[in-house]
């Protein structure tokens, strides 16, 4: 009967039952929330107490990032995709560790709630012990997605939050943290939980790939299924040892965590050698019975992670085919082929293009087709890492180099790229001091870790990318001219998505790829996508299609109403003409307008505005000074 009561009334009744009558509100709200209330009550938390969003100290922040390096690396792209998808709906996005400390946050530009903005900051302690009930802590402790709305929060002060969170489980079965979306307005329960579940599943898939398995297999329900179930994955070593299992496979096998040495034969009624022989002979999918009696069709899948592309010479299966250099658009394909020839001669490549045009996809393709493809593809976004941390990320550190440094030291991205490809994304935002150090590495082919005096020889090919005009940046003293000459051996320019000659076929192909061929676009939906100006380029298209896939019913053709509001709205053409009209102003006028908009969104906070713009705080102050002088 409780299901027939409106949600707001059920929540109010549950709160009255628990806090006023001291009884368990059975069947009124999620048991995960009740369990949290019981823990908070046992800890003698006062429902009226003030919320303190405490942050870890600076030295602790470095250690926090280091301890969660793998999770942060796996979550970077899924977090960006989720943020773009939900931003228009007013959601802010959060990634926490297993203790509830914020590792990364993306606040919605439409969020004016100061409490949410205060909470969604890197290093803030959002544990249950500190802020009471939250979707993140419930998801981590219950190991399942949880939605916590308004009055379901233990503390009165947190009633402004409406949250949905999903736990992130690593291949060994350990909960690493949670992904959360929050806004002040009531949630859309189905879509909110679906979005965080999809995001956590993608992070878990990235974590599986980062194991660099000798063989990754996916389990499907039937042989005729051309797309085996992507969330049923097993990562295997060369002798059949199980390196990791996806959470769904753990549910099927009843293995909460990997204890001891587990092998393929411990799960399936088939020897590992028989499986490999079958795959070598292209005999897949192969139907195999598990010891539990369940039968699945097994298929090999590409285990490459976002950051690393490996082709082990000893791999038994010829399953990884180098990515095609045909990008659909003839001008892009011609430039890629030219860049590939330049790299054969040892020249670095500089990729120019707006945010979201596919610069990293291009870099990965160039790596896969190069003589260094057997090495590691290592990517670092120079604009996404705080200035205080990027030096250690790039050059590594020796033992005891600073407080919180990893014992024994750690290699930086340059060392990791030895024998492979180093991709420096948004190099135009690299601090000047680091530009000098990078220039020296390129000249000497030696890298020295922080806190060490011993250089190490490195050999790698270099690909850089930026959305900035580096020649102008060099004239303004924001980029070293000598470094610019070092990195632009061959320049590739990527067009905006709306300028591609193959736009319609590109949209259709992306839809099929994202949905594994399970979705089609209605003509109205395709027309809407073709009309839109795509300021976020390919990345925004991916987010839009992901958003539509999440909202549509299983098997339903994607309709215009499934797209984000700003794309589905009939004013799209007006938006395009307004944007074109705005471009008639001078560059300085446009720059000032963009800066003012960022400052307005961030409530006048210069540091946050600089981060939003992808530039340093000092650079922003300098440009503000120039802009103000121009007005005077």
Give the model confidence (pLDDT) of 187-201 as tens digits: 776 788 999 999 999
Tell which wins on pLDDT, 285 or 147. 147
Lowest mean pLDDT among 15-29, 456-470, 574-588, 615-629: 574-588
Distance CA(95)–CA(103), nearest Å, equals 6
Q: Which pLDDT score, from 0 to 100, does residue 90 have?
A: 84
Given a contact cutoff of 8 angstroms between Cβ atoms, the answer to whether 228 and 297 are in contact is yes
What's the CATH code of the domain at 555? 1.10.8.60
Beta partners for residue 352, in sequence order: 466, 493
pLDDT tens string 398-422? 876 655 556 667 888 999 999 999 9
Given a contact cutoff of 8 angstroms between Cβ atoms, the answer to whether 394 and 438 are in contact is yes
Q: How confident is the model at residue 523 (pLDDT cuts 50, 70, 90)?
A: very high
**360 CB burial (10 A radius; 0-12, 13-18, 19+):** buried
Shared domain for 291 and 180, answered yes or no, is no
What's the CATH code of the domain at 94? 3.30.450.40
Q: Give the containing element (helix H, strand E) for 208.
A: helix 189-209
Shared domain for 253 and 234, answered yes or no, is yes
- Is 348 within the bounds of a domain? yes
Tell which wins on pLDDT, 538 or 406. 538
Q: How confident is the model at residue 582 (pLDDT cuts 50, 70, 90)?
A: very low
Place of tokens 């005891």: 400
Beta partners for residue 447, in sequence order: 456
Under 8 Å CB-to-CB from 18, ≥6 apart: which residues?
A: 24, 25, 34, 37
Place of tokens 């945010």: 355
Domain end residue (candidates: 178, 201, 224): 201
The pTM of the full predicted model, rounded to 2 decimals, is 0.52
pLDDT tens string 120-165? 888 899 999 999 999 999 999 999 999 999 999 999 999 988 999 9
Shared domain for 506 and 489, answered yes or no, is no
Given a contact cutoff of 8 angstroms between Cβ atoms, the answer to whether 284 and 317 are in contact is no
Shared domain for 418 and 547, answered yes or no, is no
Q: Which pLDDT score, from 0 to 100, does residue 216 have?
A: 87
Domain end residue (candidates: 478, 493, 508): 493
Shared domain for 421 and 387, answered yes or no, is yes
Q: Which two tokens stand for residue 156?
A: 């009165």
Q: Give the containing element (helix H, strand E) for 457.
A: strand 455-457
Given a contact cutoff of 8 angstroms between Cβ atoms, the answer to whether 28 and 3 are in contact is no
- Is 62 within the bounds of a domain? no
Shared domain for 344 and 469, answered yes or no, is yes
Distance CA(140)–CA(119), nearest Å, equals 18
pLDDT tens string 11-63? 999 999 999 999 999 889 999 999 999 999 999 999 999 888 888 876 677 77
Q: Which two tokens stand for residue 421?
A: 């490809």
- Is 59 within the bounds of a domain? no
Q: Which pLDDT score, from 0 to 100, does residue 583 have?
A: 44
Domain limits for position 590: 585-631
Mean pLDDT of 261-265: 82
Q: Which of 394, 431, 399, 390 is nearest to 413 (CA)?
A: 394
Helix (H), strand (E), coil (C) string for 493-520: ECCCHHHCCCHHHHHHHHHHHHCCCCCC
Distance between start and end Cα atoms, the chain: 69
Q: Which of 42, 45, 37 is nearest to 16 (CA)?
A: 37
Question: Cα torsion at 394, 396, 397, 398 (round to 10°)?
Answer: -150
Helix (H), strand (E), coil (C) string for 82-109: HHHHHHCCCCEEEEEECCCEEEEEECCC
pLDDT at 386 over 90: no
- Is 429 within the bounds of a domain? yes
| Mean pLDDT for the chain overall | 81
Q: How confident is the model at residue 283 (pLDDT cuts 50, 70, 90)?
A: low
Q: Which pLDDT score, from 0 to 100, does residue 625 have?
A: 64
- Is 342 within the bounds of a domain? yes
Shared domain for 435 and 514, answered yes or no, is no
- Is 131 within the bounds of a domain? yes
pLDDT at 484 over 90: yes
Burial 363-393 (b: 16+ CB within 10 A, else e): bbbbbbbbebbebbbbbbbbbbbeeeebbbb
Beta partners for residue 565, in sequence order: none
Shared domain for 393 and 485, answered yes or no, is yes
Question: Cα torsion at 283, 286, 291, 292 (round to 10°)?
Answer: 180
- Is 208 within the bounds of a domain? no
Shared domain for 475 and 502, answered yes or no, is no
Shared domain for 488 and 505, answered yes or no, is no
Q: Which two tokens stand for residue 274?
A: 């028989």
- Number of structural domains the chain divides into: 5
pLDDT at 227 over 50: no
Shared domain for 119 and 219, answered yes or no, is no
Tell which wins on pLDDT, 85 or 260. 85
Shared domain for 167 and 221, answered yes or no, is no
What's the CATH code of the domain at 611? 1.10.10
* Three-state secondary-structure class, residue 422: strand
Domain end residue (candidates: 477, 493, 509): 493
pLDDT tens string 327-364? 667 788 888 888 998 998 889 999 999 888 888 888 98
- Is 468 within the bounds of a domain? yes
Q: Which pLDDT score, from 0 to 100, does residue 110 have?
A: 66
């Amino acid at each position: 009967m409780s299901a027939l009561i409106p949600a707001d009334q059920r929540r109010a009744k549950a709160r009255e039952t628990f806090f006023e009558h001291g009884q368990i509100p059975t069947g009124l709200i999620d048991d995960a929330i009740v369990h949290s209330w019981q823990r908070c009550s046992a800890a003698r938390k006062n429902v009226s107490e003030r919320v303190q969003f405490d942050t870890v100290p600076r030295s602790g922040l470095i250690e926090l990032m280091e301890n969660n390096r793998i999770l942060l690396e796996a979550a970077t792209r899924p977090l960006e995709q989720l943020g773009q998808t939900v931003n228009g709906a007013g959601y802010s996005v959060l990634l926490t560790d297993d203790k509830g400390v914020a590792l990364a946050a993306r606040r919605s530009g439409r969020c004016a709630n100061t409490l949410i903005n205060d909470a969604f900051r890197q290093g803030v302690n959002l544990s249950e012990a500190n802020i009471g009930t939250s979707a993140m802590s419930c998801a981590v402790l219950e190991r399942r997605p949880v939605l916590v709305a308004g009055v379901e929060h233990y503390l009165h002060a947190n009633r402004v939050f409406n949250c949905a969170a999903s736990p992130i489980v690593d291949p060994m079965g350990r909960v690493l943290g949670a992904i959360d979306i929050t806004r002040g307005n009531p949630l859309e329960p189905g879509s909110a939980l679906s979005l965080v579940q999809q995001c956590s599943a993608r992070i878990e898939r990235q974590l599986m790939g980062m194991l660099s398995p000798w063989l990754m297999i996916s389990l499907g329900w039937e042989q005729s299924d051309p797309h085996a179930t992507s969330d049923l994955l097993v990562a295997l070593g060369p002798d059949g040892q199980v390196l990791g299992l996806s959470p769904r496979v753990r549910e099927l096998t009843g293995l909460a965590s990997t204890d001891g040495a587990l092998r393929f034969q411990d799960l399936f009624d088939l020897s590992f050698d028989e499986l490999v022989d079958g795959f070598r002979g292209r005999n897949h999918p192969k139907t195999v019975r598990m010891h539990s009696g369940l039968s699945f069709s097994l298929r090999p899948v590409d285990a490459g992670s976002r950051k690393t592309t490996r082709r082990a010479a000893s791999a038994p299966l010829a399953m990884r085919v180098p990515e095609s250099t045909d990008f659909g658009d003839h001008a892009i394909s011609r430039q890629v082929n030219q860049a590939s020839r330049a790299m054969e001669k040892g020249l670095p490549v500089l990729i120019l293009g707006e945010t979201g045009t596919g610069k990293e996809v291009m870099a990965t393709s160039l790596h896969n087709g190069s003589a260094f493809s057997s090495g590691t593809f290592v990517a670092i976004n120079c604009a996404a890492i705080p200035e205080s941390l990027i030096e250690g990320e790039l050059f590594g550190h020796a033992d005891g180099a600073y407080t919180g440094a990893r014992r024994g030291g750690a290699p930086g991205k340059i060392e990791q790229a030895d024998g492979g490809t180093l991709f420096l994304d948004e190099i135009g935002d690299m601090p000047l001091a680091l530009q000098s150090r990078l220039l020296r590495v390129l000249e000497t082919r030696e890298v020295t870790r922080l806190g060490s005096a011993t250089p190490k020889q490195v050999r790698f090919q270099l690909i850089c990318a930026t959305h900035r005009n580096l020649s102008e940046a060099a004239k303004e003293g924001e980029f070293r001219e000598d470094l610019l000459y070092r990195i632009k051996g061959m320049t590739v320019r990527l067009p905006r998505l709306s300028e591609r000659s193959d736009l319609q076929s590109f949209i259709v192909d992306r839809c099929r790829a994202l949905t594994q061929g399970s979705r089609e676009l209605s003509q109205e939906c395709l027309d809407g996508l073709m009309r839109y100006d795509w300021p976020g380029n390919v990345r925004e298209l991916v987010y839009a299609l992901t958003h539509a896939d999440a909202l549509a019913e299983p098997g339903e053709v994607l309709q215009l109403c499934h797209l984000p509001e700003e794309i589905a709205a009939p004013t799209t053409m007006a938006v395009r003409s307004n944007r074109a009209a705005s471009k008639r102003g001078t560059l300085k006028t446009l720059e000032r307008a963009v800066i003012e908009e960022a400052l307005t969104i961030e409530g006048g906070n210069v540091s946050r505005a600089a981060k939003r713009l992808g530039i340093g705080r000092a650079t922003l102050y300098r440009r503000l000074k120039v802009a103000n002088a121009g007005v005077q």
